[in-house]
Chains A and B, each alone.
Chain A
Amino acid sequence: MLKKYFMSHHNLFTGHSICKKSPPSFGCQTWDNLTLIFTNLIIPLRIRSRVVMTPMPMEIFMDPEKLGINFDHIWQKTLTVLNPLKPADGSIMNETDLAGPILFCVALGATLLLAGKVQFGYIYGMSAIGCLGIYALLNLMSSSGVSYGCVASVLGYCLLPMVILSSGAVFFSLQGTIGTVLALVIIVWCSLSASKIFISALDMEGQQLLIAYPCALLYGLFALLTVF
């Protein structure tokens, strides 16, 4: 009904303004321009009800599944990381999912920011180079190859305990003995989870500690960022 009101002034199909037929008045001309703008939004909205389109922004907030973000899978993977002693299911890494890892990286940067250290660049740089190194190593060590996305995804998920460490750093300084011990525990936790997921996803036997060591080096660098 609203549309009919707009269209009565402006013939959309021919592009001619009806205003020309009647003596031009100030209101009619601006109305013309407004209808020109609004028709780009209103007509498509009408059509959208008949055809499947890419989701409009409001829809994404209501239902993230449309973007491919599967919250259930993210939660499952997070639980796998949080419990390093439970054996992991090899199929959870079948779909590469970078939403969780990016969220954790941003969370790490945010908690570091709260502690007074602005080090986003270092985090992203180190994660990229570390992921590249571990990608090369895993491709050489495993019988089946891995994709870079899978490596980045696993390493990003296992960054979660580091986020816990850095949020602790907001409240108390980590530069004592307790801080060092805590940092070591968190590093071991992160690398054990990462190596556990890798060996179950890539089906490598007897190499868990060998994979855990380079992961521990990488997470050790993150811990250095957090503690110092």
Chain B
Amino acid sequence: MADPHQLFDDTSSAQSQGYGAQRGPSGLGYPTASASPQAAFLADPVSNMAMAYGSSLAAQGKELVDKNIDRFIPVTKLKYYFAVDTLYVGKKLGLLFFPYLHQDWEVQYQQDTPVAPRFDVNAPDLYIPAMAFITYVLVAGLALGTQDRFSPDLLGLQASSALAWLTLEVLAILLSLYLVTVNTDLTTIDLVAFLGYKYVGMIGGILMGLLFGKIGYYLVLGWCCMSIFVFMIRTLRLKILAEAAAEGVPVRGARNQLRMYLTMAVAAAQPLLMYWLTFHLVR
């Protein structure tokens, strides 16, 4: 007979009615006592509740992160800049090293929105700058390693100093755009993309410097500086200067002159920064 205080099911008798029927008398609320010690923990109603609460908490947390990450990092806007394919990247890299023969620098539009980089080689993208930045940090580590000056924290130092210069540049250009009161559709992310293109030239310079010494470094860096200068002028001219000036008609006027100077300043800053961030890596 079932003892009202029994903790365990009595299966000593072969004709036990089975597990379920015996649960009634065990009024202590420990049906898990008859389970294995491991499963006892999971089947215990308290831990069931705890697990359900924990998983709902995790789901809530994930929802919160997903909702709020859109406030700080505009994911859908960023997706536009990563809609690239191999052909575009190849053409863009060619343009960065040799922009002299390219004729049409206008970005094509499709019903008020610029076309994705995949379809237009003039559109800015973030894949190349991001990859170039990471490669620059790794190549800097490699360069320091070949000179026996490497340590893992130097890598972090290089990365953060390059990032700091980039941020400074973006802020300075945004400030000057604001002061000159330019009415432009140049967004911050566009600006970051354009300013990130110089890392490609820097990587080329460092690699040549590693292979061929200082002569190779100066030659390649000089070439890349010229190319980036021309590239930036031709790209920014369409964004910052008024439409009239973009068509090639020289417009006199204080406002346009100021904008010309601004474009020239931005373009000239690129080679300077390229030299500043790489000369200490090549000995």
Contacts and interface: CB of A to CB of B under 8 A. Distances in A.
Interface of A: 3-4, 7, 12-14, 39-40, 43-48, 50-51, 53-54, 56, 133, 137, 139-141, 205-210, 213-214, 217, 220-221
B138 to A, nearest CB: 6
A-B pairs, top 7 by smallest CB distance, nearest first, are A206-B85, A140-B82, A13-B6, A13-B3, A47-B34, A141-B82, A54-B39
Contact of A210 (B11, B42, B84): B84
A50 B38 CA distance: 17
Given A46-B11, A140-B78, A210 B127 contact: yes
B187 to A, nearest CB: 17
B84 A56 contact: no
Given A48-B36, A53-B36, A53-B39, A13 B85 contact: no
B135 A217 contact: yes
Nearest to B145: A228
A13 B36 CA distance: 18
Contacts of B35: 44, 47-48, 51, 53
Nearest to B83: A141
A208 B138 CA distance: 22
22 contacts: A12-B7, A13-B6, A13-B8, A14-B5, A40-B37, A43-B8, A43-B9, A44-B36, A44-B37, A45-B36, A48-B36, A51-B19, A54-B36, A54-B38, A137-B82, A141-B82, A141-B84, A208-B86, A209-B89, A214-B134, A217-B135, A221-B138
Given A51-B19, A207-B85, A217 B5 contact: no
A4 B10 CA distance: 12
B65 interface: no
A50 B20 CA distance: 10
Nearest to B126: A140
Contacts of A43: 8-9, 11, 34
Contacts of A54: 36, 38-39, 42
Contacts of A51: 19, 35
Contacts of B7: 12-13
Contacts of A39: 8
A43 B41 CA distance: 17
A53 to B, nearest CB: 5
A62 B130 CA distance: 49
A213 B35 CA distance: 53
Contacts of A48: 35-36
B37 A213 contact: no
Contacts of B79: 140
Contact of A209 (B78, B86, B135): B86
B19 A47 contact: yes
B249 interface: no
A91 to B, nearest CB: 24
B87 interface: yes
Contacts of B179: none
A39 B83 CA distance: 65
Contacts of A209: 86, 89
B23 to A, nearest CB: 11
A92 B12 CA distance: 49
A72 to B, nearest CB: 27
Given A12-B8, A47-B34, 4 more contacts: A13-B5, A46-B11, A47-B11, A54-B36
B127 to A, nearest CB: 7
B16 to A, nearest CB: 9
Contact of A3 (B12, B75, B89, B138): B12
Given A13-B5, A14-B3, A50 B89 contact: no
Interface string B68-99: 00000001001100111111010000000000
B174 to A, nearest CB: 23
B86 A7 contact: no
A179 B127 CA distance: 31
A217 B203 CA distance: 14
B253 interface: no
A62 to B, nearest CB: 17
Contacts of A56: 36, 38
A211 to B, nearest CB: 10
Interface in B1-47: 3, 5-12, 18-19, 34-39, 42
B75 to A, nearest CB: 7
B127 A206 contact: no
Contacts of B87: 206
B131 interface: yes
Output the residue of B75, B86, B87, B131 with the most chain A CB within 10 A: B86
